[in-house]
């Protein structure tokens, strides 16, 4: 039996685990694009917090793009997994090529998702970073670093499922980590959802539109 039917059901379970933050005026939910948005929407609705999108791009190992050697986030933030880079002997040139390529897509997504709107203010707030799961932790670590460097906020990482071995590095970076399931062997995030379609750009835009409508009454 898989732990989660889909991202929406996972988000509802995660939101219930975060009800201690409910109705606080000092909490913002940041969902990682794209798969984190359906999860984050449910969390934000349950705890009655504003929702915003956070764009992070995984840096795939050359020739093995599914394996993350790091990630980049808005504001020029990058996180590199030195262990993987050394083990596979990835060159500095290969890293910079990946960064340049993913920066183009990161900027495109920010433009598409925001439509010129400014990001939610995060200074002196509790920021709940939400994704649909953690396999390597590269994307969420880049997001934590970006939020801390720009806003000095308190950061909570909240995910439905994660590989057990990545949690220690996440716990060392964030103020708090909430994870519902840590199955072993882990294999991949998608393995723990019955229904796990790719989230589209249009779905991200629609989720953000619904969230604004709820806040504006």
Q: What is the mean pLDDT of residues 92-115?
A: 94
Q: What is the mean pLDDT of residues 63-77?
A: 87
pLDDT digits (tens, 9 = 90+) for 128-180: 999 999 998 999 999 999 888 877 678 999 999 999 999 988 999 999 999 99
Contact 28, 126 (CB under 8 A): yes
Least confident interval from 1-10, 58-67, 136-145, 149-158: 149-158
Distance CA 58, CA 75 (A): 15
Check residue 150 and give its pLDDT.
72
Determine, yes or no, domain membership for 197.
yes
- For 214, the token pair is 């709820």
Check residue 120 and give its pLDDT.
84
Contact 121, 94 (CB under 8 A): no
Q: What is the mean pLDDT of residues 92-116?
A: 93
* pLDDT tier for residue 119 given thresholds of 50, 70 and 90: confident
Determine, yes or no, domain membership for 51.
yes
Check residue 211 and give its pLDDT.
93
Determine, yes or no, domain membership for 150.
yes
**How far is C-alpha 129 from the chain's CA centre?**
6
**Cβ-Cβ contacts under 8 Å for 78 (sequence gap 6 or more):** 59, 70, 71, 72, 99, 142
Determine, yes or no, domain membership for 85.
no
| CATH code for the domain in which residue 36 is found | 3.40.50.2020
Determine, yes or no, domain membership for 149.
yes
Contact 201, 12 (CB under 8 A): no
Check residue 100 and give its pLDDT.
95
3-state per-residue secondary structure call for 134-198: ECCCHHHHHHHHHHHHHHCCEEEEEEEEECHHHHHHHHHHCCEEEEEECCCCCCCHHHHECCCCC
**Cβ-Cβ contacts under 8 Å for 169 (sequence gap 6 or more):** 137, 141
Which is more confident, 181 or 117?
Answer: 181
How many of the other CB atoms lie within 10 Å of CB of 97? Answer: 13
Distance CA 103, CA 8 (A): 29
* pLDDT tier for residue 37 given thresholds of 50, 70 and 90: very high
Which is more confident, 14 or 77?
Answer: 14
Check residue 1 and give its pLDDT.
62
Contact 186, 29 (CB under 8 A): no
Check residue 66 and give its pLDDT.
81
Q: Residue 2 pLDDT more than 80?
A: no
Determine, yes or no, domain membership for 194.
yes
Share of the chain above pLDDT 70, in %: 99
Domain total in the chain: 1
Check residue 116 and give its pLDDT.
82
Distance CA 54, CA 106 (A): 10
Determine, yes or no, domain membership for 95.
no
Boundaries of domain holding 145: 7-55+118-216
Determine, yes or no, domain membership for 159.
yes
Check residue 33 and give its pLDDT.
94
Q: Residue 11 pLDDT more than 70?
A: yes
Longest CA pairwise span in the chain (Å) = 54
């Amino acid at each position: 039996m898989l732990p989660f039917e889909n991202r929406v059901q996972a988000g509802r379970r995660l939101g219930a685990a975060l009800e201690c933050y409910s109705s606080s005026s000092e909490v913002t939910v940041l969902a990682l694009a794209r798969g984190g948005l359906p999860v984050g929407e449910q969390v934000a609705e349950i705890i009655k917090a504003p929702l915003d999108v956070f764009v992070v791009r995984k840096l795939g190992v050359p020739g093995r793009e599914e394996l993350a050697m790091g990630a980049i986030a808005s504001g020029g933030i990058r996180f590199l997994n030195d262990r993987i880079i050394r083990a596979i002997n990835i060159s500095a040139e290969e890293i910079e090529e990946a960064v340049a390529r993913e920066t183009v897509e990161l900027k495109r997504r920010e433009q598409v998702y925001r439509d010129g709107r400014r990001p939610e203010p995060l200074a002196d707030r509790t920021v709940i970073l939400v994704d649909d799961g953690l396999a390597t932790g590269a994307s969420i670590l880049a997001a934590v670093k970006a939020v801390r460097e720009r806003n000095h906020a308190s950061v909570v990482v909240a995910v439905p499922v994660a590989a057990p071995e990545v949690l220690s590095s996440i716990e060392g970076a964030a103020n708090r980590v909430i994870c519902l399931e840590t199955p072993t062997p882990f294999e991949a995030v998608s393995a723990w959802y019955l229904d796990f379609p790719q989230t589209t750009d249009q779905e991200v835009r629609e989720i953000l539109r619904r969230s604004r409508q709820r806040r504006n009454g």
